[in-house]
Chain A
Amino acid sequence: MTIEAPAGTSAPPVLQADHVTKEFGGLVAVNDVSFAVPRLSIVSLIGPNGAGKTTLFNMLTGLYKPTSGRILFGERDVTRARPDVITSLGVARTFQNIRLFGAMSALENVMIGRHSRMRAGLFGSIFRPPWVRREERDVRVRARELLAYVGLRQEVFGQLAIHLSYGDQRRVEIARALASDPTVLLLDEPTAGMNPQESLALTDFMRKLRDELKLTILLIEHDMKVVMDVSERVTVLDHGEKIAEGPPAQVRAEPRVIEAYLGKQD
Chain B
Amino acid sequence: MTSGVSGPNPPAGNVGELVAQLREWRAAIESRLPPWSGRALAAALIIGGILLPLFFTQTSGFLEATLIALAYVVMALGLNIVVGFAGLLDLGYVAFYALGAYSMGWFGSDFFFKEHVHVLVSGIAAHEIGIHLNFILILVCAVIICAAAGALIGLPTLRLRGDYIAIVTLAFGEIIGTLAENGTSIHVGGGQTLTAGNLGITAIDAPYFPGIGIFNSLKLRPWYWLILAIMLVVLFINLRLRDSRLGRAWVALREDEVAAVSMGIPLVRTKLKAYAIGAAFGGVAGVFLGAYYTVIDADYFAFTFSIFVLSMIIVGGLGSIWGAVLGALLLSYINYYLIPDVFNSIPHTFGLNFNLSQLSFGIFGFLLVLVMILRPQGLFPERRRKLELTEAIASDDAQLVEGGL
In the complex where A103-B384, A104-B252, A162-B3 touch, is A88 in contact with B264 (Cβ < 8 A)?
Answer: yes
In the assembled complex, B353 has its CB within 8 A of some CB on chain A:
no
Asked if residues A116 and B245 are in contact (CB atoms below 8 Å), the reply is no
Q: Is A213 an interface residue (CB 8 A)?
A: yes
Q: Once the chains are docked, how many angstroms separate the CA of A87 from the CA of B392?
A: 29
CA distance A124 to B246 in the complex (A): 10
Contact between A125 and B241, CB atoms less than 8 A apart: yes
Q: 6 shortest A-B CB distances, which residue pairs?
A: A116-B264, A125-B244, A87-B264, A158-B389, A99-B259, A101-B255
Q: For residues 69 through 119 of chain A, which have their beta carbon under 8 Å from a beta carbon of chain B?
A: 82-85, 87-88, 92-93, 95, 99-105, 107-108, 111-113, 115-118
| A85 CA to B268 CA, complexed, in Å | 12
Q: Chain B residue with minimal CB distance to A91?
A: B262
Mask of B244-274 contacts with A, CB within 8 angstroms, 1/0: 1111110110011011111111110000010
Cβ–Cβ contact B398 & A154, under 8 A = yes
Task: List 10 A-B residue pairs with CB atoms under 8 Å apart, sorted by A's residue number.
Answer: A85-B266, A99-B256, A101-B259, A102-B255, A104-B248, A115-B249, A117-B264, A148-B398, A154-B392, A180-B263
Q: At the interface, yes or no: A160 with Cβ under 8 Å from chain B?
A: yes
Rounded to whole Å, the gap between the CB of B74 and the closest CB of chain A is 16
Q: Is A63 an interface residue (CB 8 A)?
A: yes
Bound Cα distance A213, B405 (Å): 8
| Selected interface stretch from A36-44, A137-145, A194-202, A253-261 | A137-145
Q: Tell me whether A262 is interfacial, beta carbon within 8 Å.
A: no
Chain B residues with CB under 8 A of A127? 240
> Which residue of the partner chain, among B261, B265, B401, contacts A148 with CB atoms under 8 Å?
B401
Task: Across the interface, name the chain A residue whose C-beta is closest to B264.
Answer: A116
Q: Is A134 an interface residue (CB 8 A)?
A: no
Q: Which residues of B contact A124 (CB under 8 A)?
A: 244
Q: Are A125 and B256 in contact (CB under 8 A)?
A: no
Residues in A whose Cβ lies below 8 Å from that of B5: 102-103, 160, 162
**Which of chain B's residues have a CB closer than 8 A to the CB of A82?**
261, 266-267
Name the CB-closest residue of B to A120.
B245
| Residues of A contacting B252 in the complex (Cβ-Cβ under 8 angstroms) | 101, 104, 112, 115
- Report the Cα distance A104→B319, complex, angstroms: 13
Give chain B's interface residues, CB within 8 Å of chain A: 1, 3, 5-6, 237, 240-241, 244-249, 251-252, 255-256, 258-267, 273, 277, 384, 386-389, 392-393, 395, 398-399, 401-402, 405
Any B CB within 8 A of the CB of A149: yes
A141 closest partner in B (C-beta): B393
**Known pairs A115-B263, A125-B241, A162-B3; A104 contacts B251 (CB<8 A):** yes
Instruction: Name the distance in Å between A243's Cβ and chain B's nearest Cβ.
Output: 28
Complex Cα–Cα for A45 and B388 (A): 38
What's the nearest-Cβ distance from chain B to residue A16, in Å? Answer: 20
| A101 vs B387: C-alpha distance when bound (angstroms) | 17
Chain A residues within 8 Å of chain B by Cβ, number? 56
Q: Of the candidates B241, B249, B384, B401, which one forms a contact with A160 in the assembled complex, judged by CB atoms under 8 Å apart?
A: B384
The answer to whether B267 and A99 touch across the interface, beta carbons within 8 angstroms, is no
User: Smallest CB–CB gap between A136 and chain B, Å?
Assistant: 8
Of A113, A149, A213, the residue contacting B263 (CB under 8 A) is: A113
Chain A proximity of B118: nearest CB distance (Å) = 30
Beta-carbon nearest neighbor of A87 in chain B: B264
Output the nearest chain A residue to B401 by Cβ-Cβ distance: A145
Determine whether A126 belongs to the interface, using a CB cutoff of 8 Å to chain B. yes
Complex partner residue of A105 from B247, B249, B384, CB under 8 angstroms:
B384
Shortest CB-to-CB span from A145 to chain B, Å, is 5
Chain B residues with CB below 8 A from A83, complex form? 261-262
Q: Known: A101-B251, A126-B241, A162-B3. Contact between A61 and B262, CB under 8 A?
A: yes
- Whether B264 contacts A145 by the Cβ 8 Å rule is no
Is B264 in contact with A122, judged by CB distance below 8 angstroms?
no
Interface flag for A121 (CB, 8 Å) = yes
Nearest CB in chain B: distance from A198 CB, A: 19
Query: Do A162 and B259 touch (CB < 8 A)?
Result: no
B395 touches A154 (CB 8 A): yes
Measured between alpha carbons, how far is A177 from B266 in the docked complex, in Å? 16
Using Cβ atoms and an 8 Å threshold, which residues of chain B touch A225? none
List, in ascending order, chain A residues with CB within 8 A of B399's CB: 148
A176 within 8 A of B: yes
Q: Which residues of chain B come closer than 8 Å to A88, judged between CB atoms?
A: 264
Question: How close is B241's CB to chain A, nearest CB, in angstroms?
Answer: 6
Indicate whether A212 reaches chain B with its CB closer than 8 angstroms: yes
Please tell me which one of the listed residues A115, A126, A148, A149 contacts residue B240 in the complex, with CB atoms under 8 A apart.
A126
A122 touches B388 (CB 8 A): no
Minimum CB–CB distance for B42 against chain A, Å: 17
From B245, B246, B264, name the one whose CB has the most chain A CB atoms within 10 angstroms. B264
Partner of A162, one of B6, B248, B249, B395: B6
Query: B251 to chain A: which residues have CB within 8 Å?
Result: 101, 103-104
